[in-house]
């Protein structure tokens, strides 16, 4: 029987997009759970959340590491849910979540990375991108907002941008949450029928579904061309929310643990300090 560490390594290997490889999402089963089951997964997620809490506190205290987590996926793939159920382990004091929606007129007046760079993590911080700079090779491509020659050169620019961040001390983790069309439709319907979730429902989302194949092609190219040794992509089967949480939580926790964050020594405090 495989040890927990061996199972974790195996799972990571299944989800990692090897640099230089080409992703074919038609070959990925969005229902896959790789032998994990919900009953045991809930307990594992709880343990990983505790690990994340402890590791983030050390990262914040040490002020040495910078961590960027990128979440991408088609509408209703579970980006918000991942932040709510996994990233809730982080203390907001050292963690920032940024959502990248439609660019403002000011943002459009600059290069497409202009709005991204101010939101990358500083020392001791973890930054989470709900959508990201990849929108400029996804929705921009699908809706033909710029010419082909413009968005097609952005893959290389994005790789260079991420190389800069990594060279300056940032650890980057990128997750593509993959659901199928039937699951997306079920989630849209659930949003519409639940009065507490209807605020998230947009009629425009049903129109976007008609571009499913175009989006899948755009995601495949982005993940294939921008998974590097420095900043790898993970394709996470996300039809099962519990497995999505398990996979993301485990990979993030293992990555932070590998940084070996430690509480800083306090040599500046007198050893014979008296409290009274």
Cα gap 51→43, rounded to integer Å: 13
The rounded percent of the chain whose pLDDT value lies above 90 is 91
Locate 37 and state its tokens.
């089951």
DSSP 214: H
Which residues in the chain belong to E strands, given as ranges? Answer: 66-73, 95-99, 126-130, 170-178, 233-237
Q: Does the pLDDT value for residue 244 go beyond 60?
A: yes
> pLDDT grade, residue 236 (50/70/90)?
very high
Domain boundaries, the chain: 4-178+211-258
Q: What is the mean pLDDT of the chain?
A: 95
Q: Would you call 16 helix, strand, or coil by DSSP?
A: strand
> pLDDT grade, residue 30 (50/70/90)?
very high
Cα gap 165→154, rounded to integer Å: 16
| pLDDT reported for residue 1 | 54
> pLDDT grade, residue 274 (50/70/90)?
confident
| pLDDT reported for residue 219 | 98
Cα gap 234→120, rounded to integer Å: 20
126-130 β-sheet, strand order: 95-99, 126-130, 66-73, 170-178, 233-237
> pLDDT grade, residue 77 (50/70/90)?
very high
> pLDDT grade, residue 157 (50/70/90)?
very high
| Phi, psi (deg, nearest 5) at residue 238 | -125, 15
Cα gap 113→85, rounded to integer Å: 29
Q: Does the pLDDT value for residue 245 go beyond 80?
A: yes
> pLDDT grade, residue 252 (50/70/90)?
very high
Q: Which of 257, 201, 248 is nearest to 56 (CA)?
A: 257
Locate 145 and state its tokens.
């907002």
For residues 18-43, give the mean pLDDT: 95
| pLDDT reported for residue 272 | 86
Q: Does the pLDDT value for residue 146 go beyond 70?
A: yes
- CB–CB of 242/41 below 8 Å? yes
Cα gap 109→246, rounded to integer Å: 40
Taking each helix axis as running N to C, give the angle between helix 154-167 and helix 212-225, from 0 to 180 degrees, rounded to the nearest 10: 50
- For residue 154, what are the CA distances in angstroms to 101, 135, 140, 157? 18, 11, 11, 5
Q: What kind of architecture, by CATH, is found in domain 4-178+211-258?
A: 3-Layer(aba) Sandwich (3.40)
For residues 41-54, give the mean pLDDT: 96
Between 270 and 102, where is the model more confident? Answer: 102
pLDDT tens for 107-133 read 999 999 999 999 999 999 999 999 999
| Phi, psi (deg, nearest 5) at residue 29 | -90, 110
| pLDDT reported for residue 269 | 87
> pLDDT grade, residue 3 (50/70/90)?
low
């Amino acid at each position: 029987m495989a040890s927990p560490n061996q199972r974790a390594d195996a799972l990571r290997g299944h989800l990692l997009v090897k640099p230089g490889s080409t992703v074919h999402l038609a070959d990925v089963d969005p229902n896959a759970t790789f032998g994990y089951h919900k009953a045991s997964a809930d307990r594992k997620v709880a343990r990983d959340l505790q690990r994340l809490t402890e590791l983030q506190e050390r990262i914040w205290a040490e002020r040495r590491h910078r961590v960027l987590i990128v979440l991408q996926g088609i509408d209703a793939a579970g980006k918000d849910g991942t932040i709510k159920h996994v990233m809730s382990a982080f203390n907001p004091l050292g963690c920032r979540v940024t959502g990248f929606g439609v660019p403002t007129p000011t943002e459009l007046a600059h290069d497409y990375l202009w709005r991204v760079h101010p939101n990358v993590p500083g020392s001791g911080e973890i930054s989470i991108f709900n959508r990201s700079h990849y929108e400029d090779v996804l929705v921009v491509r699908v809706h033909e907002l710029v010419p082909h020659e413009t968005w097609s050169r952005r893959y290389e620019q994005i790789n260079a941008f991420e190389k800069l961040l990594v060279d300056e001390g940032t650890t980057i983790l990128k997750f593509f949450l993959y659901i199928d069309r039937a699951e997306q439709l079920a989630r849209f319907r659930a949003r519409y029928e639940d009065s507490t979730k209807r605020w998230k429902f947009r009629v425009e989302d049903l129109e976007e579904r008609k571009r499913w194949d175009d989006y899948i092609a755009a995601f495949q190219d982005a993940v294939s061309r921008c998974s590097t040794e420095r900043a790898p992509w993970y394709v996470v089967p996300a039809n099962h929310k519990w497995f999505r949480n398990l996979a993301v939580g485990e990979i993030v926790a293992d990555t932070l643990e590998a940084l070996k964050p430690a509480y800083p020594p306090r040599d500046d405090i007198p050893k014979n300090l008296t409290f009274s």
